[in-house]
Amino acid sequence: MAECGRLYHVAALFDGEAALAPPDTAEHAATCPDCARYLAHLRMLRDGVGAVAETGVVTDGQFGAFLDGIRECIDAPVRGWRRFWTLASMTAAAVLIALALYAVFADFSDPARQVEATIVEAPYSELSGVSIDVQIGKDGNAVIWVNNAPNDVWYGTP
């Protein structure tokens, strides 16, 4: 595809660098189909870039809100597993403390334990014909009773 050899001059003229282009460049571009097409292409590019090259500007009136937005993002709590494990650890510690306090202050003096606390072992008597009853009350007190003790010689008048 053959192209005009003066496209470079047309581009220089388009960029405002007329010193790099011969004086008849504009006249040539108006009559040369290649240069005319190239010039149209350059205009299209310039218009497109100009449409997207508008840079946002923060004015003095917007600057306070702009900084507030930055601070809000900085102060926002970080979400993630770290926060979860912190809460889990605190909960576990609270449960352990509660259990320890319960073990220290709980009242374990229920009647069943008191009964276990009193023990009577192997009651024995040499008196003939007697039976021995052992009772341990709910209050932990014990009664050992010898029944039918004979009123024999051992119990005579002193």
Interacting residues with another protein (CB under 8 A): 114, 117-127, 130, 132, 139-147, 149-151, 153-158
Comparing CB distances to another protein, the nearer of 22 and 111 is 111
Residue 40 CB burial class (10 angstroms; 0-12, 13-18, ≥19)? exposed
Choice between 75 and 110, CB closer to another protein = 110
Give the shortest CB-110-to-another protein separation in angstroms.
Answer: 14
Assigned token pair, 36: 């005319």
Only one residue has tokens 């192997």, namely 122
Q: How far is the CB of 116 from another protein (least distance, A)?
A: 10
**CB nearer another protein, residue 11 or residue 140:** 140
> Cα separation of 98 and 83, whole Å?
23
- To another protein, the closest distance from the beta carbon of 70 in angstroms equals 53
Tokens at 29, concatenated: 């571009």
Q: How far is the CB of 109 from another protein (least distance, A)?
A: 10
CA 109 – CA 119 distance, rounded (Å): 16
Choose between 19 and 122: whose C-beta lies nearer to another protein.
122
